[in-house]
Structure formats: C-alpha cells, structure tokens
Structure 1
C-alpha cells in the first residue's frame, strides 16, 4: 500500500484546522464557516435581537406611561419585559458573535458573567410567569379575596423574588463552579480550552439546575392554568345562564380572557425552552455526546421566546395595540396622554 497519499491528506487536514488563538497552546478549535453562511446567521440573529429589544421597550413604555394599565398583573408583565429586554441587550449580542465566529474572545470572567446572567434571566422569566399565574388564579378563582391578597406589597415581593432568587442561584452556581462538581477532570480534559465559553453541567448539577429553572416551575404553571381553565369554564356557563348584562359578568369575562392570553404566553415559553432543557438534563448521562451546534441552536430557539412575548401581546391585547398606535403616532407626548382610556372598565 502507498501511505504517502494518506500522510499528505493528514497534513492537509491539520493545516486546514483553525483555532481561536493560533499562537496559543490549548486553544479551542474554531468552526470555519463560509461567508455565505455567516451573513444569514448574523442577520437572523440581529433581527431577533432588534425584535426583542424594540418589542419589550414598547411593552415597558405602554404600561409605565398609561395609568389605566398599571394593574398588579401588568406590573409583573413590565418586570418580565425588563427581563426580556436585558436578555436582548446584554446576552443575545455576545451569544450571536460566539455562534457565528465559533469562539469567545472576551475572557474567562466575562464568560462566567455571560453564562450566569443568561441562566438568571431565563430563570427569572419563568419565575415571573409563575407569579403571574398565581395572580390570575386569585383573579379568576378567588375574585372576592383578590384585592385582599394581591396587594402592592404582595406584587413587590413577587417581583423581588423573581429577580433575587434566580440571581442567587445562577451566580452562586457558575462563579464558584458548582456546576462542575463531580466532573472536573472530564471538563479540564475534554471541554475546557482557550477561546471557548461552553455551558457545562455535571449530572447532579444538570438535574438540579433544570429542575429548579424549568421543570418544577413549569409543572406549577401547568397545574395552576389547568385549574383556572376549569373554573373559568364553570363561571362562563353560570354567567351565561344567569345574565349577560351585569358589570361583574363583563369584568369576569375580561379576567378570564386575560388568563387565557397569559396561558398562551406560558405555552410559548414552555415550547421555546423545553428542547434545550431536555438536552441539558440528558447530555451528562450520555457522555456529553450532543453536538455543540445542536445545543447552540436550541439556546437560540429559547431566546426567541423573548421576542415572541410582545408579538403575542400585540396579537391578543387590544389595549396594547391601542397603546402602540398612540406611541407611534406621537400622541404619547401630548399633555394628559397618560390618562387615555385604552379599554372600558
């Protein structure tokens, strides 16, 4: 056999291998993508970032400006929009560069900061949705005690918990490297390299993180909205049988419609983040054999949830569409515009 061709082939492959830092030993291998692939990737990611930032800015502006919209559930919604906005401003751009270039050029500290902020904001989103579901539960299922239980202080505690608990969990796990416990040797040998910023979890850490950040809150959301659904159906039948003319009936219909719309928001969140959460919990138990490209794609599919939320509001909430028209037309700058009525009480 002639081994000269094989030798030449191996040397050619080696010469074509690209690294994040060509002059450093231990550098990560860089994925060489042609410009025809990089441009569509970067364009689509920039589009997702712009929709996320602009859409959530409009939600924040609408609820913060119009006094009629400053209800308990909308205060939680605006806090959720801030969470999505921060994801679009600080996390998604860095992730876009890493995804397109295949390398992380910002150093180890910023890698940890980026990863922990990413986890915190994603977890904060589902915490907000959980508290919103609790608000809707009392509004629909316990309307007489709603104003006694869901007070301004209650909402403040909900919002604070939605930010503080995920922050403690995310930064407390990533910076002390608790996520590596039990698999440090594997990480040092097979994963860690210069120019990389991979999210790595040991089996126990993956189980704890996915349960805390997704599965347990997700099950709570499904259970609460299932209860709301059945109570709302029963109430709708009762109201239809009794009368259609009472204000209480109109208010009840509005609360139920709001709960249904927020259930759609929850459904979008679960659909967007379920694939990544499933891979996160499976990967350590199959020796980390899920391709990095697939993991990166699923992360971006999860990011799209932050862009979808304002679209859902615009599609289903008449008050949001009216607020958008006022903002875009410039009437928001008129004196007294904050008192405009966007829906009938």
Structure 2
C-alpha cells in the first residue's frame, strides 16, 4: 500500500525490461525542489514534535496518565512511520529509483502497514477508555499495568496485520533505465493487476479505517451527549469535572477527525487504481499520489500541534521545555542573555514570614467578591525563585487564610503566562492544580 503505483509501469519478466517497456515518470527539477521542500518541512516537523511529546509525558510525573501514555504510543507510531518509511519512500518516488536494497524494501513496507494500524488502534482504545470513564465515573480508572498490556496488544495485532506482505515485498530492476523499484509482488502480479492486492487493501481499509472510525464516532457521540447533558450536573463540583472532561474529549475528537481527513484520500486512491487501471499511467498521477501521500504523512506533524493548541498542560510543558533549551543555548554563549526586567513599580508590604520586602504583581491579582481578602501572587525579594501564594488583607498584611483551589489555579495561570518552571513550586512544597 505504501509503494508508488506510478512506478509500476514496467513488465515483469526475466529480471528486467526490454526496449518496449515504458520508463518510470521523471519530474522536472523545479517540481522536485518543491516536493522536496514540502516533505522536508513535514518530516522535520513531525520528528521534532513527536519527540517533544514523548519527552514531555515521560519526563514529567504529572503528565503520566493513561491517556497520555496512549498519546505517546501514537507519537511513537508516527515517528516510526516518518523515520523508517516516509523518508526513504519519498526519495524513491522522487528519483524513481530504490537505492536502499531489497531487505530494507521489505522493512519499509512492513513498517508502513504496522505503524498505520498501531496509530488507528491506539485512537480507538483511547476513545473506548474515555467512553467507559464518562459512562461509569464511579468505576476505577484504567491502571498503568492494563495500559501497558493494551499497548503490547496493539503492536502485536498491528504486526500481524502487516505480516502478509513480508514474503512479497521485493525489488525489481529495470535494465534499460538502470532503475530499481520497491514493490509488493503478489503471486498473481503487481499491485495494479493483482486481485490479492485489491483484497488486502480492502481488508486494510476496513480494519484500519472504516470499523475503527465508525466505533470512534459512536463513542464520542455518546460521550458528547453525556457531557453536555445539563441535567446530569447536580453540583458545582460535577460542573467543573464535566468541564475538564469536555476539554480533553474535545481535543481527542479533533485528533480523530484530522486523522480521518488525512488518511481517507490515501486509502481511496488504491481502490481507484484497481478499478481504473489507466489512471496509473496518466502524467499527473505521480503528483496526485504524492499529494495524497504527503497529506497522510502530515498527520504525524499535525498531532503535536493539536496537543499544544488544545491542551493547557501540554502547552505549559512545551513552553517550559523550550525555555530550558533557550537557557542551555545561552549557557553555551550562543545567544546573548536577556536584559533583566525592571523592578516592578508596585506596592510593598511585610510578608509575615520574614522581614524581607515583597513585590506584589498587580496583573495576577484576582478579587473574589465572595471572599473577605484579596488573593495575590507574591515574590520574595530575597529569593527570586521562592514563589508563594498568600492571602493578603486590604492593608497588604499576610493572613493565615488557607490556600484554596481557586488561588492555586491562579498561581498556575500566572506561572504559565510568565513561563516560570513548575519545579519552583515543588521546592517550596506549594500545591497547585491544573486542568
């Protein structure tokens, strides 16, 4: 399924072609430059984005949830597809020549099918897990042990689904053009004439697209009905819980929708080539296939962007990671350090914990009308890394009022806005919550 049908316009005989064999399509230089630019941006972006997702989830205790573990598996599948199939396959399609050997031709074909199946199975398991979580909120959540078992099952099933191509993925050398192509040579011929290839593509389309997408649509439809049913929210706590779940489910729905949009043209293309054999010999077919292939592969680039745009936790840790990278670059002397910000022109007060002065950041003040005090984020002047959240009365004096979830959320938003590392809080044993 991952080979380029436009390169199959050859006759398979005694290991090569004759003078009557048509040559594989060759692109003009300008078109090669344009396609190379498009694929290079996509490949680099997908590798960087998915590597960051894996680093963020595995490197931060607060991000190690079962849903995020599945998202890591999705990123691993995208990385495998990008690194071990897309990069090599694009060079093959661009140059009409496979230079990576027969063994890697088999590896590349297997990786393409296995990683695609692993991706869609991961999305299906996530949707089913959220389905059970919303419909049975009092039942225990999926444990990490069960999550790991499911991840292993996903890859075993994906590998089994890709296994039938292992004996038939091979290379064919075209003597006249001195060109080698990587194809799946079924017992009844090449893909464009093979009945076995058509049946296999229908199975792949059904198992990795139609059935999972239908199941996910049903799951998320029921989840949406449950989460947006106002009659099921009987307390303010339930309202907040449902609001948090809506954000997570909303992100997952967008991820599934983008996956469906990116992969549908690619699946349909192979069915069209079988029913319209003349399509594979048209001059524009190589560009059409490259466009569908680029769209499918770009799903690996889009997913990390969706996590950043639609999830506050991912967005916070993405920014923190970039801040650490910038700090490392500055430590190497490659970038001039930024000028220290001016001292805030703010009111001062006694902190109540020591005799130092504190600066009160007015932008972080939230005055709750129902509260008797004004909650403010304060920064100890004696230690710029000692953030505390204090309840201050109208005269600026610290009071012994306890820290509430609302004020800790205020601190989290303040930290996210100013890109301050979250480990500051752990050093001060200050609790904070995220959504």
TM-score (norm 1): 0.79
Shift of 1:261: 0.8
Aligned pairs for 1:25-64 (under 5 A) are 25-26=16-17, 29-64=23-58
Tell me the residue number matched to 2:303.
309
Tell me the residue number matched to 2:214.
219
Tell me the residue number matched to 1:66.
60
Question: Residue 196 of structure 1 aligns to a residue in which SS?
Answer: strand
Question: 1 CA distance for matches of 2:268 and 2:433?
Answer: 41
Structure 2: gaps of 5 or more residues: 1-9, 173-177, 185-190, 329-420
Question: 1 CA distance for matches of 2:277 and 2:76?
Answer: 37
Cα offsets for 1:191-211 (capped at 9, x unmatched):
xx9612246362222221221
- Judging changes above 3 Å, is the alpha-carbon distance between structure 1 residues 113 and 144 closer, same or farther for their aligned structure 2 residues? same
Structure 1: gaps of 5 or more residues: 1-18, 181-186, 188-192
> Rg bigger for which structure?
2
Q: 2:242 aligned with 1:152, yes or no?
A: no
Q: 2:294 aligned with 1:204, yes or no?
A: no
Shift of 1:298: 1.2
Question: 1 CA distance for matches of 2:235 and 2:90?
Answer: 55
Question: 1 CA distance for matches of 2:152 and 2:425?
Answer: 26
Shift of 1:343: 4.9
Aligned pairs for 1:74-85 (under 5 A) are 74-85=68-79
Tell me the residue number matched to 1:228.
223
Shift of 1:288: 6.7
- Whether contact under 8 Å (2:80, 2:111) holds in the other structure is no
Residue 243 of structure 2, aligned match among 253, 257, 272: 253
Instruction: Provide the aligned C-alpha RMSD in A.
Output: 3.1
Residue 262 of structure 1, aligned match among 245, 249, 252: 252
Question: 2 CA distance for matches of 1:120 and 1:231?
Answer: 34
Greater fraction strand: 2
Cα offsets for 1:105-134 (capped at 9, x unmatched):
223332121111011111111010000101
- Judging changes above 3 Å, is the alpha-carbon distance between structure 1 residues 257 and 223 closer, same or farther for their aligned structure 2 residues? same
Tell me the residue number matched to 1:13.
none
- Judging changes above 3 Å, is the alpha-carbon distance between structure 1 residues 302 and 335 closer, same or farther for their aligned structure 2 residues? closer
- Whether contact under 8 Å (1:319, 1:342) holds in the other structure is no
- Judging changes above 3 Å, is the alpha-carbon distance between structure 1 residues 306 and 338 closer, same or farther for their aligned structure 2 residues? farther
- Judging changes above 3 Å, is the alpha-carbon distance between structure 1 residues 342 and 123 closer, same or farther for their aligned structure 2 residues? farther
Q: 2:86 aligned with 1:92, yes or no?
A: yes
Q: Which has the higher contact order (CA 8 A, sep 6+)?
A: 1
Greater fraction helix: 1
- Whether contact under 8 Å (2:70, 2:151) holds in the other structure is yes
- Whether contact under 8 Å (1:52, 1:88) holds in the other structure is yes
Tell me the residue number matched to 1:168.
160
Alignment: residue pair count: 305
Question: 2 CA distance for matches of 1:337 and 1:97?
Answer: 47
Question: 2 CA distance for matches of 1:80 and 1:337?
Answer: 31
TM-score (norm 2): 0.64
- Whether contact under 8 Å (1:53, 1:85) holds in the other structure is yes
